[in-house]
């Protein structure tokens, strides 16, 4: 079955024609160098095993020759002998995985020797190899070359067999071992070594025997076989994260990201040496910016430091190995792409976070980096882990310039994303962060990018700004910055328009918005002295400067839309709504004032604030006048008429005051220009008045009380003078308003200060006992209250004020005494009576001041509460009308109606109203009927 | 046919334009009416007159109010609660509000559907009148009907001839709306 004689003879003839007959004819038909039986046995075994291994191959092996019985005359036996020798030589010893794992670090020559891979074949083996390849060559030329391929495919099978039996288990263990660092490197090293072991004999002894054209083909074939078995044994799902890790590790260094991160950490530990070392090669934005243009171009292409070069070499060598063992190619490219994607984001984050200076050169720096560092690495790596080496002529880059440009665009949008996420901080830092906005400008060229910016920013705003924790001043401050920043970002104001909406909506809901804006407008410019004003911390001083500045600006550029010669004209952005009209959005004041539907709210607040300021004793009101003039430009004269009248009242009063005092003989030169209240020179108080036209002034909360007699007589005379000057007009004195300059002569000291009228009245009451009597005057709060017709809260507040000035002391609760002589410290300590009352406050001026403040606040609160109660009475009328005419209603409905019908809105919460209504139910004016509705009791 | 089509097409923008103008005009008008009514309400609340009261309807529309008059003493309507509805036109206060009695009332100058014959609500209306003055006039009308031009002739006759019967009729017709 195995051999037929005619076949053998014909084969031998061919065999003889190729090899010198001497070498073969001289020995027995079967290999003579070793024992015949053994060899025959070995040959039989190996072919048999081969036959079982691969049926199709054996089939072709044995059927093919039989088909060509007629035209081939190869000796079957010779071929069998040659086959046996060759396979014996080529077969790989089953040493297992351990030796390869041990030797992975070496250059492999030792192992190759150990594994008997470098031993040159013996003469017979060499002959056998030559014979087999030649046979292959022969049949190749005659037919299809199955013979030679047989040997190589057998070897391919052998590799596979060996790999699966010896290496696969080991690799599997390594892959699932606990040690993760550099795991892939180990694996690749092992595989590389295995690959060399497998292919060494082929390369050294077999390939030279075949023609050059076949060499490449055969080698590729074997390589592919190896790659297949490797990728079969090592599931890619497990390899790819490892590969990504390896790539990321080196890419971090090569792309310079690690130094950036270090640098940002270095701020703490100031590692000077390393800084110097790094100076040569750095991708740091700061360094780059400081360099001049020429250095800039070179800085990233040259002067790589050692670490980078090492990392680069290491990575490229690793990738070479990876490609060699078949783990490169398409899949590795994908992993590489995703790693580079992360790297780019990482770099941008590390390099540019917080770099907001203007003028910015972030963008050229980024493009430069992408081109010279990022793309360079990409080119180098992709050159190694290519997919089809033979497809392209050598020297063609896998990366085109279009790709690089695309990467640059991607990088720019990444930068945009970074800046967008930083936008809130950028705005907070404004105007120190102009550069960041300039960067962002390059990003917001596309409608979707613009939408991204606005949406992200609005979300951030809602989270960080528009909540009760932020004060109105802060919000307004930020809004101003936003207006300015977005004006720079998008001069057409479309983005600002979108951003501003939620802010404006929120500000409208805040009660104190108007107040803050108006007080900001009226605030002294920062250069002026801020005495008597609250610190600029809670006032938007900026607004007053802005007001005058914006006015000048509006004069300059009023005709922007119809300016045909405007060389800087730009069309409206693509995402502008069709009816979008550019507002003067850069105008901060305008944006703030337009927050409110009507000017009325604004004007009303302005009036109240203005009233407070005008009633202060000051020499001039230039600031108020100028602010008012500027506001008139915006609002028109009519809206601000009341304010105008108020200002005129003040300036008129000065003249009127002068002439009345002159007429009535009240003036005594040299008197100060116009304090409203007397300066109590002994027995000659001095009275000045401000005459207000009641109709134009906002309601002023007033405390009614009797002024001292000296003053009231002066008031009468003054009023007479006024009535003679202005017929048919009358003066009504508002005793609660005004300032008094008080000078007090005490036993051991004198005191002089400006105080309020009621404080002055109180201290004047203590004066009445005359200065000569030895015993200091002592009065109780209730006495004073009835004597002066002043509310006791106010009396107490005024007394505590004087206590804080150490003029009075509280002897027992609610009883005060003049402190003619200051006690020495010992006396205070010894005298327990001083500390009666409110827990020692009389002794300590600081505490007393605090107490006085608290009392003043209490007095103010009482006034406010009275006002609120009065208001509630008004609302009661509304509720009464509502329930009379509309029948029973529940709380929600009442609140809703009140909100609609009460001018200026209903300021109380549902709870407060419920309480109030409950009070009315108790009083029997209301009843609650089914369903919780309130009904009037008839 | 075609021509008419063309016509409507051509005229359409104009029409839209016109409605636009109208609506904007209307809006400002409505605003001024609202303002005026708000002021009137405020005045009513600040200085309530005894026996009369008025308030906008609960639908939040300031243009329709409900008012209540308590019948004046020493009239047949003594202590009766009479409800009225006010409906203000957009041209208020330059034209009179429409005022109707909601409560069924037996009165010479009021018909059975509540319509009132009062000169100041018709040709004698003037912009200086307001809700309060109208209500006060109606209050006095209860005590002194104008029998010269009655809407309800029977009532006028009874008023003149048989006060007892008149009062009986008033009470028979009266029905309190509050309980609804």
> DSSP letters along A112-176, please?
HHHTT-SSPPPHHHHHHHHHHHHHHHHHHHHS--HHHHHHHHHHHHHHHHHIIIIIHHHHHHHHT
Closest CA to A934 of A874, A900, A894: A894
| Whether pLDDT at A27 is above 50 | no
A810 neighbors A832 (Cβ within 8 angstroms): no
Q: How confident is the model at residue A938 (pLDDT cuts 50, 70, 90)?
A: low
Q: Pairing relation of β-strands B81-87 and B64-70?
A: antiparallel
Per-residue pLDDT, A240: 80
User: B interface mutation test: which of A877, A881, A896, A903 has the most B CBs within 10 A?
Assistant: A881
| Cα A511 versus chain centre, distance | 29
Per-residue pLDDT, B8: 43
Residues in chain A closer than 8 A to B46 (CB atoms): 874, 877
Interchain pair B45, A877: CB under 8 A? yes
Higher pLDDT, B162 or A96: B162
Asked whether the bond before B93 is cis by omega within 30 degrees of 0, the reply is: yes
Instruction: Detail the DSSP E strand segments found in A726-785.
Output: 739-745, 750-756, 778-780
Q: What is the mean pLDDT of residues A98-126?
A: 69
B117 noted as active-site residue: yes
**CATH assignment at residue B54:** 3.10.110.10
Which residue in this structure is represented by tokens 């709504």? A577
Interchain pair A885, B65: CB under 8 A? yes
Per-residue pLDDT, A774: 56
- Burial pattern A470-492, b for ≥16 Cβ within 10 A else e, equals eebbebbbbbbbbbbbbbbbbeb
β-bridge mates for residue A818, sequence order: A808
Higher pLDDT, B157 or A492: B157
Distance CA A674, CA A655 (A): 10
Distance CA B134, CA B154 (A): 25
Q: How confident is the model at residue A748 (pLDDT cuts 50, 70, 90)?
A: confident
Q: What is the mean pLDDT of residues A326-348?
A: 83
Q: How confident is the model at residue A65 (pLDDT cuts 50, 70, 90)?
A: very low
Residues 6+ apart with CB under 8 A from A104: A186, A189, A190, A192, A193
Expressed as residue numbers, the domain containing B156 is 26-173
| Whether pLDDT at A872 is above 80 | no
A746 neighbors A776 (Cβ within 8 angstroms): no
Q: What is the mean pLDDT of residues A45-62?
A: 40
- Nearest-5° angle of CA A621, CA A625, CA A628? 140
Distance CA A392, CA A400 (A): 14
End-to-end CA distance of chain A: 129
Of the residues B37, B116, B117, B135, only one is catalytic, namely B117
Distance CA A154, CA A302 (A): 51
Per-residue pLDDT, A28: 41
> Roughly what angle, to the nearest 10 degrees, separates helices A375-384 and A401-429?
140
Does some domain include residue B148?
yes
Asked whether the bond before B83 is cis by omega within 30 degrees of 0, the reply is: no
Residues in chain B closer than 8 A to A903 (CB atoms): 38, 42
Domain A866-936: which CATH number of 3.40.710.10, 1.10.150.130, 1.10.10.10, 3.40.50.300? 1.10.10.10
Both tokens of A413, joined, read: 């949008």
| Whether pLDDT at A285 is above 60 | yes
Of B41, B42, B58, nearest to A886 by CB-CB distance is B58
Per-residue pLDDT, A40: 42
| Whether pLDDT at A598 is above 80 | no
Per-residue pLDDT, A293: 58
The predicted-structure confidence for A794-853, as pLDDT tens digits, reads as follows 787 888 888 777 777 777 777 887 777 776 655 555 444 444 444 444 445 556 667 667
| Whether pLDDT at A612 is above 70 | yes
| Cα A69 versus chain centre, distance | 83
Does some domain include residue B13?
no
Both tokens of B98, joined, read: 């429409």
Interchain pair A885, B48: CB under 8 A? no
Q: What is the mean pLDDT of residues B29-35?
A: 77
| Cα A571 versus chain centre, distance | 31
The ranges assigned to domains in chain A are 74-134+150-234, 603-667+685-721, 736-823+843-859, 866-936
Closest CA to A885 of B41, B110, B124, B82: B82
Residues in chain B closer than 8 A to A896 (CB atoms): 60
Residues 6+ apart with CB under 8 A from B130: B40, B43, B93
A432 neighbors A360 (Cβ within 8 angstroms): no
Determine contact: A880 vs chain B, CB below 8 A: yes
Q: What is the mean pLDDT of residues A180-205?
A: 76
Distances (CA, A) of A308 to A275, A305, A315: 15, 6, 10
Residues in chain B closer than 8 A to A882 (CB atoms): 55
Of B55, B62, B180, nearest to A885 by CB-CB distance is B55
C-alpha neighbours within 13 Å on the C-beta side of residue A461: 25
A529, exposed or middle or buried, with CB in 10 Å at 0-12, 13-18, 19+? exposed
Does some domain include residue B17?
no
Which residue in this structure is represented by tokens 């105080």? A755
Closest CA to A445 of A421, A419, A424, A416: A416
Q: How confident is the model at residue A528 (pLDDT cuts 50, 70, 90)?
A: very low
Determine contact: A839 vs chain B, CB below 8 A: no
Per-residue pLDDT, A329: 74
Interchain pair B65, A901: CB under 8 A? no
Distance CA A19, CA A25 (A): 10
Write down the architecture of domain A736-823+843-859 according to CATH. Answer: Orthogonal Bundle (1.10)
- Nearest-5° angle of CA A402, CA A405, CA A408? 155
φ, ψ at A254 (rounded to 5°): -65, -40
Does some domain include residue B123?
yes
Per-residue pLDDT, B98: 92
Residue A60 CB neighbours (<10 A): 17
Closest CA to A856 of A785, A789, A780, A799: A799
Residue B52: helix, strand or coil by DSSP?
Answer: strand
| Whether pLDDT at A618 is above 60 | yes
Q: How confident is the model at residue A750 (pLDDT cuts 50, 70, 90)?
A: confident
Strand B52-56: give its sheet, edge to edge. B52-56, B64-70, B81-87, B98-101
Share above pLDDT 90 across residues of chain A, in percent, rounded to a whole number: 0
Residues 6+ apart with CB under 8 A from A624: A522, A610, A613, A614, A647
Per-residue pLDDT, A572: 67
Interchain pair A897, B54: CB under 8 A? no
User: A interface mutation test: which of B43, B48, B52, B55 has the most A CBs within 10 A?
Assistant: B55
Per-residue pLDDT, A34: 40
Which of A195-204, A312-321, A398-407, B7-16 is the least confident region? B7-16
Q: What is the mean pLDDT of residues A210-219?
A: 74
Does some domain include residue B1?
no
DSSP string, A342-384: HHHHHHHHHHHTT---SS--HHHHHHHHIIIIIHHHHHHHHHH
Check residue A708 and report its DSSP letter: P
Residues A754, A759, A761, A767: is their CA dihedral positive or negative? negative
Per-residue pLDDT, B100: 92
Check residue A684 and report its DSSP letter: B
Q: Pairing relation of β-strands B64-70 and A750-756?
A: unpaired
Q: How confident is the model at residue B99 (pLDDT cuts 50, 70, 90)?
A: very high
Higher pLDDT, A82 or B27: A82
| Whether pLDDT at A413 is above 80 | yes
Residue A66 CB neighbours (<10 A): 11
Higher pLDDT, A696 or A701: A696
Residues 6+ apart with CB under 8 A from A416: A439, A440, A442, A443, A444, A449, A453
- For the CA atoms of A498, A500, A503, A505, what is the dihedral angle to 10 degrees? -80
Both tokens of B107, joined, read: 């009165």
Check residue A4 and report its DSSP letter: -
Per-residue pLDDT, A776: 66
Residue A212 CB neighbours (<10 A): 8
| Whether pLDDT at A42 is above 60 | no
A332 neighbors A242 (Cβ within 8 angstroms): no
Q: How confident is the model at residue A581 (pLDDT cuts 50, 70, 90)?
A: low
| Whether pLDDT at A679 is above 70 | no
Residues 6+ apart with CB under 8 A from A501: none
Domain count, chain B: 1
Check residue A91 and report its DSSP letter: P
Both tokens of A690, joined, read: 């401000």
- Burial pattern B100-130, b for ≥16 Cβ within 10 A else e, equals ebebbbbbbbbbeebebbbeebeeebeeebb
Of B44, B58, B180, nearest to A881 by CB-CB distance is B44
The predicted-structure confidence for A229-279, as pLDDT tens digits, reads as follows 887 877 778 778 888 888 888 888 777 777 766 665 544 444 434 444 444
Both tokens of A196, joined, read: 């060399």
Q: What does chain B come to in residues? A: 180
Q: What is the mean pLDDT of residues B106-122?
A: 88
Q: What is the mean pLDDT of residues A118-145?
A: 64
Distance CA A417, CA A396 (A): 34
Same fold, A736-823+843-859 and A866-936: yes
A819 neighbors A807 (Cβ within 8 angstroms): yes
User: A interface mutation test: which of B39, B49, B52, B56 has the most A CBs within 10 A?
Assistant: B56
The predicted-structure confidence for A343-380, as pLDDT tens digits, reads as follows 888 888 887 877 777 677 778 888 888 887 888 888 88
Closest CA to B152 of B96, B114, B100: B114
Q: How confident is the model at residue A68 (pLDDT cuts 50, 70, 90)?
A: very low
- Nearest-5° angle of CA A58, CA A63, CA A67? 160
Per-residue pLDDT, A682: 47
């Amino acid at each position: 079955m195995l051999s037929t004689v005619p076949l053998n003879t014909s084969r031998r003839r061919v065999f003889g024609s190729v090899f010198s007959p001497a070498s073969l004819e001289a020995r027995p038909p079967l290999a003579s160098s070793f024992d015949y039986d053994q060899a025959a046995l070995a040959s039989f075994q190996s072919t048999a095993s081969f036959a079982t291994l691969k049926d199709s191959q054996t089939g072709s092996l044995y059927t093919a020759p039989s088909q060509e019985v007629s035209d081939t005359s190869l000796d079957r036996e010779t071929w069998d002998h040659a086959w046996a020798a060759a396979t014996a030589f080529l077969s790989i010893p089953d040493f297992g995985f351990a030796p390869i794992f041990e030797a992975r670090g070496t250059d492999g020559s030792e192992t190759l020797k150990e594994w008997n891979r470098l031993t040159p074949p013996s003469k017979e083996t060499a002959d056998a190899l030559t014979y087999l390849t030649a046979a292959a060559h022969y049949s190749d030329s005659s037919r299809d070359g199955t013979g030679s391929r047989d040997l190589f495919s057998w070897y391919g099978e052998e590799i596979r067999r060996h790999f699966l039996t010896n290496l696969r288990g080991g690799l599997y263990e390594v892959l699932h071992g606990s040690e993760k660092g550099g795991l892939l490197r180990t694996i690749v090293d092992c595989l590389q070594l295995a690959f060399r072991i497998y292919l060494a004999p082929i390369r050294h002894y077999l390939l030279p025997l075949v023609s050059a054209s076949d060499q490449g083909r055969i080698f590729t074939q074997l390589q592919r076989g190896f790659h297949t078995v490797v990728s079969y044994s090592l599931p890619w799902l497990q390899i790819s994260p490892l590969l990504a890790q390896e790539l990321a590790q080196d890419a971090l260094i090569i792309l310079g990201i690690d130094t950036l991160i270090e640098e940002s950490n270095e701020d703490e530990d100031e590692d000077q040496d390393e800084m110097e070392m790094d100076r040569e090669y750095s991708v740091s934005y700061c360094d780059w910016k400081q360099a001049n243009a020429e250095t800039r171009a070179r800085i990233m292409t040259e002067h790589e430091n050692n670490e980078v070069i090492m990392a680069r070499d290491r990575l490229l060598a690793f990738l070479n190995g990876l490609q060699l063992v078949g783990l490169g190619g398409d899949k590795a490219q994908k992993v590489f792409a995703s790693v580079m994607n992360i790297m780019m984001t990482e770099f941008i984050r590390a390099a540019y976070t917080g770099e907001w200076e203007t003028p910015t050169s972030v963008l050229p720096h980024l493009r430069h980096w992408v081109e010279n560092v990022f793309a360079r690495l990409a080119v180098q790596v992709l050159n190694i882990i290519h997919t089809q080496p033979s497809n392209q002529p050598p020297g063609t880059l896998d990366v085109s310039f279009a790709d690089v440009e695309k990467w640059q665009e991607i990088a720019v949008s990444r930068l945009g994303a970074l800046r967008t996420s930083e936008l809130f901080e950028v705005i907070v830092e404004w105007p120190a962060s102009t550069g960041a906005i300039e960067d962002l400008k390059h990003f917001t060229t596309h409608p979707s990018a613009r939408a991204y910016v606005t949406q992200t920013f609005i979300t951030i705003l809602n989270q960080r700004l528009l909540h009760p924790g932020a004060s109105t001043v802060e919000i307004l401050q930020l809004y101003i910055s936003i207006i300015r920043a977005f004006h720079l970002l998008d001069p057409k104001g479309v983005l600002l328009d979108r951003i501003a909406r939620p802010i404006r909506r929120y500000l409208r809901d805040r009660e104190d918005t108007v107040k803050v804006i108006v007080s900001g407008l009226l605030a002294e410019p920062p250069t002026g002295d801020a005495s008597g004003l609250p610190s600029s911390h809670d006032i938007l001083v900026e607004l007053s400067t802005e007001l005058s500045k914006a006015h000048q600006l509006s004069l300059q550029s009023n005709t922007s839309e119809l300016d045909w010669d405007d060389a800087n004209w730009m069309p409206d952005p693509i995402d502008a709504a069709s009816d979008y009209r550019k507002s003067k959005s850069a105008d901060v004041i305008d944006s703030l004032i337009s927050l409110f539907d009507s000017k009325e709210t604004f004007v009303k607040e302005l009036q109240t604030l203005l009233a407070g300021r005008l009633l202060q004793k000051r020499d001039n009101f230039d600031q108020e006048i100028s602010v008012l003039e500027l506001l008139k430009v915006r609002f028109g004269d009519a809206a601000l008429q009341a304010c105008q009248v108020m200002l005129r009242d003040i300036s008129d009063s000065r003249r009127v005051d002068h002439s009345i005092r002159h007429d009535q003989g009240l003036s005594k030169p040299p008197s100060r220009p116009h304090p409203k209240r007397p300066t109590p020179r002994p027995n000659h108080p001095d009275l000045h008045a401000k005459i207000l036209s009641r109709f134009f002034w906002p309601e002023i909360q007033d405390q009614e009380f009797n002024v001292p007699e000296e003053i009231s007589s002066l008031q009468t005379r003054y009023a007479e003078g006024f009535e003679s000057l202005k017929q048919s007009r009358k003066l009504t004195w508002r005793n609660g308003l005004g300032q008094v300059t008080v000078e007090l002569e005490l036993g051991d000291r004198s005191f002089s200060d400006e105080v309020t009228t009621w404080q002055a009245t109180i201290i004047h009451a203590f004066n009445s006992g005359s200065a000569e009597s030895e015993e200091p005057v002592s009065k109780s709060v209730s006495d004073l209250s009835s004597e002066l017709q002043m509310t006791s809260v106010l009396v107490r507040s005024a007394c505590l004020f004087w206590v804080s000035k150490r003029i009075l002391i509280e002897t027992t609760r609610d009883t005060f005494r003049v402190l003619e002589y200051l006690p020495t410290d010992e006396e205070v300590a010894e005298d327990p009576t001083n500390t009666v009352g409110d827990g020692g406050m009389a002794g300590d001026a600081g505490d007393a001041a605090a107490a006085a403040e608290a009392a003043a606040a209490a007095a103010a609160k009482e006034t406010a509460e009275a006002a609120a109660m009065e208001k509630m009475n008004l609302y009661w009328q509304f509720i009464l009308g509502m329930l009379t005419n509309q029948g029973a209603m529940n709380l929600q409905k009442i609140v809703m109606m009140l909100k609609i019908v009460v001018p200026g809105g209903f300021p109380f919460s549902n709870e407060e109203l419920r309480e109030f209504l409950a009070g009315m139910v108790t009083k029997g004016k209301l009843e609650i009927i089914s369903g919780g509705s309130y009904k009037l009791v008839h | 046919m075609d021509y008419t089509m063309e016509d409507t097409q051509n005229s359409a923008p104009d029409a839209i334009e016109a409605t636009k103008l109208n609506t904007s005009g209307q809006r400002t008008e409505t605003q001024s009416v609202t303002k005026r009514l708000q002021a009137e309400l405020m005045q009513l609340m600040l200085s309530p007159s005894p026996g009369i009261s008025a308030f906008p309807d609960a639908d939040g529309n300031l243009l329709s109010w409900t008012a209540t008059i308590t019948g004046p003493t020493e009239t047949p309507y003594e202590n009766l609660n009479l409800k009225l509805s006010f409906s203000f036109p957009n041209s208020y206060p330059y034209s009179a509000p429409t005022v109707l009695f909601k409560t069924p009332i037996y009165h010479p100058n009021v018909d059975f559907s509540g319509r009132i014959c009062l000169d100041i609500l018709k040709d004698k209306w003037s912009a200086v009148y307001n809700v309060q003055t109208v209500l006060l006039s109606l209050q006095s009308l209860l005590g002194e009907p104008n029998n010269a031009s009655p809407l309800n002739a029977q009532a006028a006759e009874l008023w003149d001839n048989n006060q007892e019967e008149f009062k009986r009729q008033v009470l028979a017709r009266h029905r309190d709306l509050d309980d609804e």
